[in-house]
Amino acid sequence: MNKKILFNSLLGLMLLFLAGCSGDDSEPDTDVEFEVLDRSQTVAGEGFQNGAELIHDEDLLRTSAEASGVDIDADDIDFEEELLFEVSITENGCGFSLVSIEDDDGLLKFMFELTPVAAGEADPDDIACTEVANPAVFYVKTESVDFHNLDVYGSDMKYE
């Protein structure tokens, strides 16, 4: 009888160990697929603000494209299946490149990095960029995703 209890105990421990080893400890994928359709440094009106806005139809796209001078064909976007964002950020002399969009429980984070860093040409600590404040507007198409808020980050710093 003792052998049977010992065997069952060992078997139970082995199963617990194997279940722990085979479990998926990794965090769920939070990256959102995206494509930068166009970019502009022409900003309509005064009062440029960093941030992101959803362009939800062809009329809004046409108005935004005319104001910024970008060339985006509305036929390239399926407004039923995809999202289009106008993302504005103030760049320094090095410029910014969009490297990822993260979905943090409905908070979409547009993650920009200094262009030389994003291109793999430099280490962030070795870059000295001029302090020129250039407004830039990116038009970003993503897969459909549920969100409740949008944030813009440049080199891990949140832009307000």
**pLDDT tens by residue, 11-57:** 454 544 444 554 454 555 689 999 999 999 877 656 678 899 999 99
Instruction: For tokens 């062809």, name the residue.
Output: 58
The owner of tokens 């160990």 is: 17
Task: Give me the DSSP letters along the chain.
Answer: -HHHHHHHHHHHHHHHHHHHHHS--SPPP-B--EEEEEEE----SS----EEEEE-SHHHHHHHHHHHT----GGG--TTTEEEEEEEEEE-TT-EEEEEEEEETTEEEEEEEEHHHHTTSS-GGG-------EEEEEEEEEE----SEEEEEETTEEE-
Look at residue 42 in the predicted model and tell me its pLDDT: 77
pLDDT at 103: 95
Q: Please, which pLDDT band fits residue 4 given cuts at 50, 70 and 90?
A: low
Query: Could you tell me the CA-to-CA distances from 140 to 32, 37, 45, 114, 126 in Å, in that order?
Result: 11, 6, 21, 18, 29
| 6 or 150, which is more confident | 150
**Predicted local confidence at residue 139, as pLDDT:** 96
Kindly report, residue by residue over 102-151, the tens digit of the pLDDT: 999 999 999 998 887 777 887 777 777 777 778 899 999 999 999 999 99
Q: What is the pLDDT of residue 151?
A: 92
pLDDT at 43 (0 to 100): 72
How far are the Cα atoms of 50, 56, 57, 102 from residue 153, in angstroms, in the given order?
10, 22, 26, 11
Which position has the token pair 């400890």?
A: 25
Q: What is the amino acid identity at position 150?
A: L
Backbone angles phi, psi at 91, to 5 degrees: -100, 155
Does the structure show a pLDDT above 70 at 160? no
pLDDT at 1: 52
